[in-house]
Amino acid sequence: MPAWSSSWQLPDQIADVLPSEARHIEELRRLFLDSARSYGYELVMPPLLEHLESLLTGTGEALDLQTFKLVDQLSGRTLGLRADTTPQVARIDAHLLNRNGVACLCYCGPVLHTRADRPLATREPLQFGAEIYGHAGLEADLEAQLLALEGLKAAGVTELAVDMADVRIVSSLLAGATISAKMLALIHAALAAKDASELDSLTASLKDGISPAAREGLKALLQLYGDEKVLVEAEKSLQATPGVREALQNLKWLGSHTRGQKAMCRSALTWQTCVVTPITAAPALPFTGRAQNWRAAGVMTRLARCLAATGQPSASAWI
């Protein structure tokens, strides 16, 4: 055993939170929850662990890899320690509350990751989220963004940049293409990284599985990011693709309404998810057919930890 080892040493990227930082984190946690409450969101507290099949239903491979697993000594079934609270809240809405109309729920609690999502980050972040269920309109998207902005400003975060995207743009370009889930994930990754050579290689390997128009559209997306002006360019470049115009109009509407909050709005049309972070992903869960809005979920999650640890009230919010 190395000389520096001891029985009280914590695992890598797991840390005790000492009094000054704990006080700061608790103040931020209370601030975010109070902001959500002022918007009419109700607090829920899901359990830290669940049966694995319930915890990961509909969430994809990435969350599976981030989830610690163990065997329940009472039942013998496999349990998972949550790596993301959002699917649990969807389950609560669908199976426990089961309300008619709109439900607005919020939460704030620790999650545990098998690997940290970035260098020097903790594997036990505190996750805050606010979810809207039962409303598929743009008003729900706007409310989630305004709530996130209000909470971040109250926490002292300045010079915010709101990055917006719509998953339907890439989906529309690839409609009708013969692509496996693995290949689709690789294409999304190449788009997110603005890696033109990788994207060319991937689309070339599909041969007749993807149309020439789709290839050109994907290539065009690599240049379509910036402020509201990029939406005009996108309409010209992608006008032949069904479904894209509506998505672009929605982004334009959200940008114009969010701009009044003194936050810079940017569009990144290649973004494959609708939430920060990859803190969370935004496909509809099979728990419910109710419309879901996850855009506020996790926006303030890592910032709370970051601000408490550094004391620097400045960051960019990806919404």
d(CA 251, CA 239): 15
pTM score, whole prediction: 0.75
Q: β-strand 264-268 against 161-164: which pairing, if any?
A: parallel
Per the DSSP assignment, residues forming a β-bridge with 268 are 225
Please check the confidence at residue 318 and state whether its pLDDT lies above 80: no
DSSP 8-state secondary structure symbol assigned to residue 10: P
Which of 72-76, 269-273, 285-289 has the highest average model confidence (pLDDT)? 72-76
Strands of the 225-226 sheet, one edge to the other: 161-164, 264-268, 225-226
* 8 neighbors 71 (Cβ within 8 angstroms): no
Domain ranges of the chain: 11-159+274-319, 166-272
* 164 neighbors 316 (Cβ within 8 angstroms): no
User: pLDDT tens, 189-228?
Assistant: 898 888 999 999 998 898 878 888 888 889 888 888 888 7
d(CA 115, CA 282): 21
Q: What is the CATH number of domain 11-159+274-319?
A: 3.30.930.10
* 94 neighbors 290 (Cβ within 8 angstroms): yes
